[in-house]
Structure 1
């Protein structure tokens, strides 16, 4: 058992500073020189590669949304077609019975 650990005082760490505001971050970026090491590191790692713009993201979102709407509409129409097919099948059977009845009466 380690007796010395009970006698150690706990070190109180200083509290964390508040994170910088957006304005402070923008000011810092604007004050940075073009040859600042951060910018050269980003170039070497490829992290400054162009990202899709908001308009691209919005376009893709609208395409996905339209796809889901069309898919839902397709499912609704499929259900309607199944009901209509069943109605036509029943009407065809009734027509065959009626034709057979008419043929039976004429003979």
Structure 2
């Protein structure tokens, strides 16, 4: 029976901390494509009768944008937790697999 060399994989690095993420985001250029919002259609005509004034429209746009960012942040945090749990499950499965392999080797000898 031939023996194969055991391949040792490097350990996966820990996810970045909140401070590292904030530092990375703060160090980006304002024109970074990740942070550029899609262009909104230009307003060709003056405000229609009964429509809100431009300052109110800008305030509403900023509010919607802020809500969108908060929602994205919440989804990112949930994804991070989900990935952490999946990583733990993979580590448990790997350990169980290693134990099974060791048992099989003992029985084979």
Q: TM-score, normalised by structure 1?
A: 0.49
Q: Which has the larger radius of gyration?
A: 1
Of Structure 1 and Structure 2, which has the larger fraction of its residues in helix?
Answer: 1
